[in-house]
């Protein structure tokens, strides 16, 4: 079942790409006590993700924070090293990169997709959500092959 507004975030393991290397963190702890804009991409360094999705959140970070967002996070079914490298390659200092290496978070949230036809295996669907103190306030899941409702622009319109 797909997570929806009003649901609590599943407490799956995520790995933060930290300055000292990978840092394991439970999703419940990460989202506790603050309002987070989190977006998910099918894969770091993939075309739409790199050209439009991540850059939009980097460019609009200040506006999101002005609307009450405490932190912006990106998650993908990639390892922490890939997420860290992708963040560095895009100067994504305003975005916390969260690796969902085994897809546990995507699966627990009901947001996994099968990218096997593209050689990607199980991945996360593309989405954006606002999580307030561990509870989903808004969620916007893209249709396959689309990029609109999970964009930073769309999220700003909804705040």
> For residue 64, what are the domain limits?
13-158
Residue 6: inside a domain, yes or no? no
Domain at 79, CATH number? 3.40.30.10
Q: What is the mean pLDDT of the chain?
A: 92
Residue 1: inside a domain, yes or no? no
The pLDDT value given to residue 5: 97
49 belongs to the catalytic site? yes
Residue 4: inside a domain, yes or no? no
**Total count of domains within the chain:** 1
pTM: 0.93
Q: Which of 17, 49, 83, 139 is catalytic?
A: 49
For the stretch 49-87, pLDDT in tens is 677 789 999 999 999 999 999 999 999 999 999 999 999
Determine the Cα–Cα distance for residues 16 and 19; give it in Å rounded to an integer: 9
What are the φ/ψ torsions at residue 76 (nearest 5 degrees)? -160, 155
Residue 115: inside a domain, yes or no? yes
For the stretch 89-137, pLDDT in tens is 999 999 999 999 999 999 999 999 888 888 787 889 999 999 999 999 9
Residue 125: inside a domain, yes or no? yes
């Amino acid at each position: 079942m797909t997570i929806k507004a009003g649901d609590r975030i599943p407490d799956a393991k995520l790995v933060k790409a930290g300055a000292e290397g990978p840092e394991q963190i439970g999703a419940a702890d990460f989202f506790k006590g603050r309002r987070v804009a989190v977006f998910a991409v099918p894969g770091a360094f993939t075309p739409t993700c790199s050209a439009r999705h991540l850059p939009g959140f980097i460019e609009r970070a200040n506006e999101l924070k002005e609307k009450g967002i405490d932190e912006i996070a990106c998650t993908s079914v990639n390892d922490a090293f890939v997420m860290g490298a992708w963040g560095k390659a895009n100067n994504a200092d305003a975005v916390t990169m969260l690796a969902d290496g085994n897809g546990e978070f995507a699966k627990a949230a009901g947001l996994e997709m099968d990218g096997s036809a593209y050689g990607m295996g199980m991945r996360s669907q593309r989405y954006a959500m606002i999580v307030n103190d561990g509870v989903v306030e808004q969620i916007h899941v893209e249709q396959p092959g689309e990029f609109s409702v999970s964009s930073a622009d769309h999220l700003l319109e909804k705040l």
